[in-house]
Amino acid sequence: MSSSKDIIKDDVVSSSDTPYQSNQSDTTPKQSIGSSFINSFKRLEFDESLLTPDMTEAEKIEVRLAHTPLQRSLKQRHLQMISIGSSVGTGLFVGSGSALRTGGAASLPIAWSIVGTFLFAVIHALGELAVTYPTPGAFSAYATKFIDPSWGFAMGWNYVFLWLVVLPLEVIAASLTIQFWNESINPVAWVVIFYVLIMTINLFGVKGYGEAEFIFSLIKVVAIIGFLILGIVLVCGGGPSGGFVGGKYYHDPGAFTHGFKGFCSVLVVASYALGGSELIGVTAAETKNPRKSLPSAIKQVFWRLMLFYLGGLTLVSLLVKATDKRLLSSSSADASASPFVIAIKNGGIKGLPSVMNVVILISVLSVGNSAVYGCSRTLTSLAAQGLAPSIFGYIDRMGRPIFGIALNGISGLLCFIVANRKIQNEVFTWLLAICGLCIIFTWLTISICHVRFRLAMKAQGRSLRDLAFTSHAGFWGSVYAIVLMILVLIAQFWISLFPIGGQPNARAFFENYIGFPVFFALYFGRKLWTRKFWEFTPLNQINLDSGRKDVDTDLLRQELDEEKEYIKSRPFWYRTYRFWC
């Protein structure tokens, strides 16, 4: 077997630091495009010589994770847009309408601000871990390393199942969004088009995903900035309908509806609407230079999300009545129920509602695209850890986790139940219920891993100067995030058990909270299956070096000191920008 620095010609995509090889020699004659395409699906074999007999099983897992042959093709511009686009979707454009209705105008900016505070800590904690350990699957691998493999198993599979359900759901949503213009065309026709489009994008590998997300997210960003400008004009009475709006809807029907319980429901919606922000951590394994690219993307994701969400939703709360009957639609793809569309219509502007519907359509496709990416990479990580069938560790010469993508394609076929709307609603209600708490568990896991990481560093006498990037929120920021997320879980339990305007109902409770027992069933189920009831690694025994990107800490310190000196020499505005962005 040739060394990992050999370059496989023509049809093989390799990396100078990736110890995976094809089975062909470098003297293979140039092949036709067809043959090259077929051969691109062949597997890159792992160089077993990297594993030594004295390694523990955990260390072998770290080596496999660190040398997974995914392409490092994502650039800074891709990361910037992925960090924004992965969480800006129907949760903002349509789902915020139900939050406005149940919680009232003031609940929107307040709830999103509270969620934003702990999201800041979560994203920065993830950034610190991802820059230090840029592994595929990110948080699943961190859970195995810093908590225990059963927690990594439960969290990883819960996350995988979430994206497996989201893909067909978003394809259906995209097809139904078209009905804003034309209801006569059978939605199945659009389902076929969108399903093929999303799967084709992901067959182009990480470059295809990155470029598609760059375009999708750019459109969303431009649309939101446009709405922010338009919204200010409308609030001030500059629309065709005229009339100063100001804060009149905070007085009639009032700032809050359904009291504190209504506010708690918005808090829960806000938590799930920002789901997908954590995908920036998954991209670490496919980024050219994580130490240079990730910190900036991590820092900017929070500020941009808060600008778009807080800015947009504050304007929506001023422009749309919480009692507006158009907010009553139950369809997550119904653009007519979008408070953004309603705000534009209330302003008397024609044509723009259709533009906003295009943005909603693109947002839906973007989330579907991210579903395939996030799911397939998490499966790769689980397979490398021995927590999923080894077939999902298969990565071809283009760096594609092809069997993970194939599983997404199979689950995506559920989108064809759009032909039967009654069955469709029932099926997806329960499928989403199973993984309904996944986002909170994922963020909670990231924060716990960060706390354990910091405690392990302290226990082993390590310095924070050994880290290329440190969380601005720090250790206590992650503790704060853990406490807040536990409170969100309690709030979710309360409103699930005692729904707004209704009596306790078993069906309603399990639709909203069945994800809790499912998660712990996976956790304890694996422990019973493996009969390994104590895999919790003591802080002083956690291997902080295995899987690290920057092993030479002396060189890293020197580079960081040089960077700090350069930043100190720059003007105040530049130093401020670099610190926060």
pLDDT, one tens digit per residue, over 393-446 is: 888 877 788 898 999 899 888 888 876 767 766 777 777 777 778 889 999 999
- Per-domain residue ranges of the chain: 51-550
Q: Among 3-17, 83-97, 173-187, name the one with the lowest average pLDDT.
A: 3-17
Q: Average pLDDT in the 375-387 region?
A: 87
Distance (Å, rounded) from C-alpha 58 to C-alpha 333?
44
How far is CA 20 from its chain centroid? 28
What pLDDT sits at residue 138?
Answer: 74
Q: How confident is the model at residue 46 (pLDDT cuts 50, 70, 90)?
A: low
How far is CA 507 from its chain centroid? 28
Q: Among 79-93, 125-139, 152-166, name the one with the lowest average pLDDT.
A: 79-93
Phi-psi region of 414 (alpha: psi -120 to 50; beta: other; left: phi over 0): alpha
Tell me the three-class secondary structure of 363-398, residue by residue.
HHHHHHHHHHHHHHHHHHHHHHCCCCCHHHHCCECC
Q: Among 38-42, 72-76, 191-195, name the one with the lowest average pLDDT.
A: 38-42
What pLDDT sits at residue 452?
Answer: 95
Q: Which two tokens stand for residue 534?
A: 């104590």
pLDDT tens column, 291-331: 777 887 787 777 777 777 888 888 888 888 888 887 765 44
Please, what is the Cα angle at 514 between 532 and 337, to 5 degrees? Answer: 140
Q: How confident is the model at residue 459 (pLDDT cuts 50, 70, 90)?
A: very high
Which residues, including other chains, have CB under 8 Å from residue 456's CB and lie 6 or more apart? 146, 462, 539, 540, 542, 544
Distance (Å, rounded) from C-alpha 355 to C-alpha 291?
38
Q: Which CATH architecture has domain 51-550?
A: Up-down Bundle (1.20)
Q: pTM value?
A: 0.86
pLDDT tens column, 195-217: 999 999 888 878 888 888 888 88
What pLDDT sits at residue 447?
Answer: 95
Q: Among 207-211, 217-221, 271-275, 551-555, name the one with the lowest average pLDDT.
A: 551-555
**pLDDT at residue 257 above 90?**
no
Query: What secondary structure does DSSP assign to 199-211, as a single string?
Result: HHHHHTHHHHHHH
Phi-psi region of 505 (alpha: psi -120 to 50; beta: other; left: phi over 0): beta
Backbone angles phi, psi at 74, to 5 degrees: -75, 135
Distance (Å, rounded) from C-alpha 177 to C-alpha 187?
9
Q: Is 81 within 8 Å of 217 (Cβ atoms)?
A: yes
pLDDT tens column, 493-505: 888 888 887 778 8
What pLDDT sits at residue 79?
Answer: 77
Q: How confident is the model at residue 458 (pLDDT cuts 50, 70, 90)?
A: very high
CB-based burial label for 127 (10 Å; 0-12, 13-18, 19+): buried
**pLDDT at residue 19 above 60?**
no
Q: Average pLDDT in the 383-399 region?
A: 84
What pLDDT sits at residue 17?
Answer: 46
What pLDDT sits at residue 482?
Answer: 95
What pLDDT sits at residue 293?
Answer: 77
What pLDDT sits at residue 32?
Answer: 65
DSSP H or E segment with residue 46 = strand 45-46
Distance (Å, rounded) from C-alpha 381 to C-alpha 286?
13
